[in-house]
């Protein structure tokens, strides 16, 4: 089993596409279209996974900031091979980091906001041992 795609609705379609292409240079716009209501939608990703991005109604407000107990998505998390490289690309492009203290001996995680205010997690595992990857204790480093 694997996640085929996620579907999000955003105000700044082009900004979120730029964010994803910066984070994942291997991604591409797989499809870019307009639906019967005149709203744009895209698929951005690789051959085996993608993010579906739909254009939100401009008059609609965001549901609110993540992690405040509201229903909905807090973040999407992607496993990456080099979390430092992702951070360098996103920082160089001017994206805002939302990383909180999350030190762990078996994984490194960073978080960044896209231009629409969505939070994205990037995690690099430091072990192939699943027990270590799934360790939830915060050990002294």
Block means of pLDDT (10 residues each) for the chain, 141 residues, are: 89 96 97 92 95 88 72 86 96 92 86 93 92 76 49
Inter-residue contact 85 to 93 (CB < 8 Å): no
The alpha-helical segments, DSSP class H, found in 60-135 are: 83-92, 130-133
* Residue 103: predicted pLDDT: 77
Which pLDDT score, from 0 to 100, does residue 73 have?
A: 80
pLDDT at 60: 76
Per-residue pLDDT at 138: 64
Edge-to-edge strands of the sheet including 119-125?
75-79, 119-125, 107-113
What are the structural domains of the chain? 5-56+75-133 (3.10.180.10)
């Amino acid at each position: 089993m694997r996640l085929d795609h996620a579907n999000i609705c955003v105000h700044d379609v082009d900004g979120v596409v730029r964010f994803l292409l910066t984070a994942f240079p291997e991604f591409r716009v797989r499809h870019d279209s307009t639906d019967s209501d005149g709203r744009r939608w895209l698929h951005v990703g690789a051959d085996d996974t993608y993010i579906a991005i739909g254009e939100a109604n401009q008059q609609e407000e965001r549901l609110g900031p993540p992690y405040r107990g509201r229903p909905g998505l807090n973040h999407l998390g992607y496993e990456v091979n080099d979390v430092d490289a992702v951070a360098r690309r996103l920082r160089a492009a001017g994206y805002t980091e939302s990383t909180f203290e999350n030190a762990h001996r078996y994984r490194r995680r960073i978080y960044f906001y896209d231009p629409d205010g969505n939070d994205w997690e990037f995690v690099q595992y430091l072990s192939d041992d699943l027990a270590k990857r799934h360790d939830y204790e915060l050990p002294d480093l």
